[in-house]
Structure 1
Amino acid sequence: MAILGTLLKRGIRLRESLEQEYSSPLELQKQELKKLLITASKTQMAEKYGFKAILSQFPKRGDDFYKAFSNNVPIYDYDKIYAEWWHKLQEGEGNVTWPKAIKYFALSSGTSGSASKYIPITKEMVKAIRRTGVRQILTLSKYDLPSKLFNKGILMLGGSTDLEFNGTYFAGDLSGITAGKLPIWFQRFYKPGQEIARNKNWGEKLEKIVENAPKWDIGIIVGVPAWLQILIEKIIERYELDTIHDIWPDLTIFVHGGVSFEPYKKGFEKLLAKPLIYLETYLASEGFLAFQALPDRSSMRLVLNNGIFYEFVPFNGRYFDEDSELRSGVQPLKIDEVEEGVDYAILISTCAGAWRYMIGDVIRFVSIAECEIVITGRTKHFLSLCGEHLSVDNMNKAVKMAEDEMNIHIREFTVLGVPHGTLFAHRWFIGTDDEVDRDQLCAVIDQNLKVLNDDYVTERKHALKEVSLEVLPSAVFYDWLREQGKEGGQHKFPRVLKGPRMEAWLEFLEKQ
């Protein structure tokens, strides 16, 4: 088992995983926050918000450490932390929110909020991402896998490793930054290789991968589902194959993240000769938060001891207004205060100098004892025009149910909330290349949502007066991403469009 053997020979052990498995989640998080505060204790932010005074509370029992932290340090979203602190980092200033100057920035996928977010990436964060990645690789020992798999290639479909440099810092996709810093021992497994990975033209990159596909023996693929499906379809078409296993017979594992895989699964599996093992990851531009740790689970284990301190805000009307903005004066919860089955927006403080930063994702604990979570959506991607409280999780499940019922494959979709006279309406746009009755599909999805969401049922009788649906070729969704400069890599089509991005989408459709 070349990969596992190499990791173990190089002294990478299960210590961190065992530590999390047998330690108190709160104690792990307390120690993680302490490390972060100590490391950043000489920064501008530490001076303004009294990190040393906060640290003085850690020897005490109880919640004093957290009370000091949450009372002294404000909650940030991207716009607020950028305006106050991170703009200094882009100007080359050091010791702002983290020691020294920041040389790398990850450009977020821009599925909500600002179109181009520059997220600082430190050497400590790169190491943390690598350590968590190793922990996930080591979980493969829990599967009944053939030894030969661990000698196969790993195809990682991500952003360009040829980063933009303006004389002060480098910027690009997180996948491009981390792929450019892969350890030497990993190079023998890594595909498409550094030369192809540097290519900034997404179309050319895909063509190069297709061209080289017969030369590689791939066992594991890693990437965003939509783009990997497009790539595999291109390979099958080029070489006139029945399935991708005709060219990569030992392809066994698909590591994915960023969006729910459920809407893609039906179409993806048509490209296979045998089932794959699907491993979900929660790797955001801000850090590697969680990964699927055990077979046959759809949940992921939150990583509590690797450079991230978490806080949780119940995602409901008490804590958030109708525009999904955090209300003033709310008190988040620590890891020991959360409950199963409740949706929470996450705040993170990280080894890249994010502090009490609202990442924008909404999660739900399915097991408190094991810190297992599922992602249920984005704070900005919930639709609640009139109290329907429709989550991305609801939407994904409704679409999957419709696929199964109508025997179709839906590759992409997005939903708009719009006025309808003095009341409201939802406009669905469905991307499929199958023949489908639009009105029937609309009725099926509408009915599925009524089954999944009680609030939706209520509002469909009152303020949510209309649900309409338009069927589009799936290529239209990817053409729009290309026009927006969001093609490939980590970029995903937003499940809900609001504001300027909604207007841009509607204007784009008018030109089609």
Structure 2
Amino acid sequence: MAIFGSIIKSIIDLKETLTPEGEAVKDQEEVLVGLLKKAKDTAFGKKYNFQEILDSENVRKTFSDNVPYFDYNKLDKEWWHKYHDGEENVTWPGKPPYFALSSGTTGKSSKRIPVTEEMVEAIRKAGIKQVSALSNFDLPPDFFEKEIMMLGSSTDLQKAGDHEEGEISGISASNIPFWFRGYYKPGEEIAKIDEWDDRVQKIAENAEQWDIGALSGIPSWMELMLKKVIEHHNLKNIHEIWPNLQVYASGGVAFEPYEKSFNALLGKPIQVIDTYLASEGFLAVQERPDTNAMRLITDNGIYFEFVPFKPDYINQDGSLTEDAPVVALEEVKEETDYVLLISTVSGAWRYLIGDTIKFTDVAKKEIRITGRTKFFLNVVGSQLSVNKMNDAVQELENEFDIRIPEFVVAAKRGEDGEYYHNWYLGCEDKVEDDAKLAEALDNALKNANKNYKVARGKALKGVKVTTIDPNMFHEWNAFNKKKGGQVKMEKVMNEEKFAKWEKFLNDQNTTS
């Protein structure tokens, strides 16, 4: 009998029972008022008259009417860069002790996103919510005695003047509470290794010493780590070395594209739980089984707004037009794509995080990540979002019985001067005919998206598919110095970036 595990499970069950489920809209009003009060005397708060907003009859509406939209480039250029010049009280009181480095998926250099002590605490509280939610899943008491493999970026943060820098997963892991350190793997020493490949090699070498019950990390990099462990120990699947593995907390991207290839590494089914930890904060967590949706965390230092995801409101660079309408939490509709805006205890205000989401259950405030604003392919009116692409690729997997964990697409002119959608599919299985894949992919997208079907009858001439080794996507990230951690593979490229991608592939073929 796992007595200690039973005690922990009982405490979690009791906490979940005693913690009342708040009213999300009321929670959000309180969060916004708290943010405005805290920041009203900052330079940003004075510029946008936070005190007047607080004194108004409708704080939420006055806030949205008086504070413009910001993406990273705008907020950094106008405000956040001042922190690096030694200024204080810029968009949040004092100076942030950390900056989260995030090159995202399309950026040429790292973004530096402020992380305050309040945000570190908010992420810790969200982590506790995640652990508490485990009481809703059918897990045995001894699960709560097993170790957790958290595969993030290096915890060896870099000192830069009066602050430290690193990816958000590294910042979070470097601040884990002392009582959790006995459960946390790969442990402090290995987690500090900066080079991704070296860190994963050390994990593989030490894997048999650990009794892993849960995994946490981005799917693409988690797959690579599991493959390395399996290869190093000459195993058939990961359960041969970690027989008690029962949970995988996925995060950052939709898990569905990786599901088939991920499951191929397992010896038995495990519970997949989605989480939404971004460089800007911990936004949502899956609280129950029988769904793949996550509940927004509405009472923990982040205020949410939503802009309908429509071509008229999105600029070419993925930013929002100034006249894009905003929708409040109580006004959202199910199965409608929205651009997500957040205001946070790190001094982000009406900030375009870059993700698109949809509500799968408005009453429960449950969402799914559907894509990125920059991953919206609309060069010739096709209006393809990433969730539509993911669905079509999954149809290919099922129809041809193959695994396609990665893909990238671009609209590109052919030699005939016409536009084609050029797809590279990272396929783990041998495919005899790429043309058949192209035809099936084209048909799946026509059936799923009427705008795409119209475009195919006019300006979009056709679809071209090339299957490649999925490792090429990881090597591309390495080539761009963006391997491991929070890095997500870009799904849509413009013609200029796509030309660099194809040159990279040609160079790889030449040297191989």
The alpha-carbon distance between structure 1 residues 113 and 17, as it changes in their structure 2 partners (threshold 3 A), is: farther
**Paired residues for 1:42-441 under 5 Å:** 42-57=41-56, 60=57, 64-113=58-107, 115-321=109-315, 324-420=318-414, 423-436=418-431, 437-441=433-437
Contact 2:16–2:135, Cα closer than 8 Å, also in 1: no
| Distance in 2 separating the partners of 1:249 and 1:91 | 52
Shift, 1:500, TM fit: 5.0
* % identical aligned pairs: 44
Q: Spell out, residue by residue over 1:88-111, the C-alpha distance to the aligned partner (whole angstroms, 9 max, x if none).
A: 122332111011111211111421
| Distance in 2 separating the partners of 1:501 and 1:210 | 34
Query: For residue 191 of structure 2, what is the amino acid of its counterpart?
Result: A
Shift, 1:14, TM fit: 4.2
Query: For residue 40 of structure 1, what is the amino acid of its counterpart?
Result: A
Q: Spell out, residue by residue over 1:428-453, the C-alpha distance to the aligned partner (whole angstroms, 9 max, x if none).
A: 01112321021111112111111211
Shift, 1:135, TM fit: 0.7
TM-score by length of 1: 0.94
Shift, 1:10, TM fit: 11
Unaligned runs of 5+ in 2: none
| Matched residue SS, 1:435 | coil
Q: Report what 1:445 is aligned to.
A: 441
TM-score by length of 2: 0.94
Contact 1:91–1:168, Cα closer than 8 Å, also in 2: no
| Distance in 2 separating the partners of 1:173 and 1:108 | 6
Shift, 1:241, TM fit: 1.4
The alpha-carbon distance between structure 1 residues 16 and 302, as it changes in their structure 2 partners (threshold 3 A), is: farther
| Matched residue SS, 1:333 | coil
| Distance in 2 separating the partners of 1:119 and 1:16 | 35
Equivalent pairs counted in the alignment come to 504
Shift, 1:331, TM fit: 2.9
Contact 2:425–2:467, Cα closer than 8 Å, also in 1: yes
Moved more, 324-333 or 372-381: 324-333
The alpha-carbon distance between structure 1 residues 353 and 369, as it changes in their structure 2 partners (threshold 3 A), is: same
Shift, 1:233, TM fit: 1.3
| Matched residue SS, 1:281 | strand
Contact 2:361–2:367, Cα closer than 8 Å, also in 1: yes
| Matched residue SS, 1:451 | helix
Q: Spell out, residue by residue over 1:91-140, the C-alpha distance to the aligned partner (whole angstroms, 9 max, x if none).
A: 33211101111121111142134531111111111111111111111111
Q: Report what 2:459 is aligned to.
A: 463
Shift, 1:236, TM fit: 1.4
Unaligned runs of 5+ in 1: none
User: Is 2:472 the partner of 1:476?
Assistant: yes
Moved more, 243-252 or 226-235: 226-235
Query: For residue 284 of structure 1, what is the amino acid of its counterpart?
Result: A
| Distance in 2 separating the partners of 1:4 and 1:377 | 39
Query: For residue 36 of structure 2, what is the amino acid of its counterpart?
Result: L
| Matched residue SS, 1:380 | helix
The alpha-carbon distance between structure 1 residues 114 and 99, as it changes in their structure 2 partners (threshold 3 A), is: farther
| Distance in 1 separating the partners of 2:232 and 2:463 | 40
Q: Report what 1:508 is aligned to.
A: 504
Shift, 1:260, TM fit: 1.5
Contact 1:109–1:490, Cα closer than 8 Å, also in 2: no
| Distance in 2 separating the partners of 1:88 and 1:324 | 25
| Distance in 2 separating the partners of 1:159 and 1:391 | 28
| Matched residue SS, 2:374 | coil
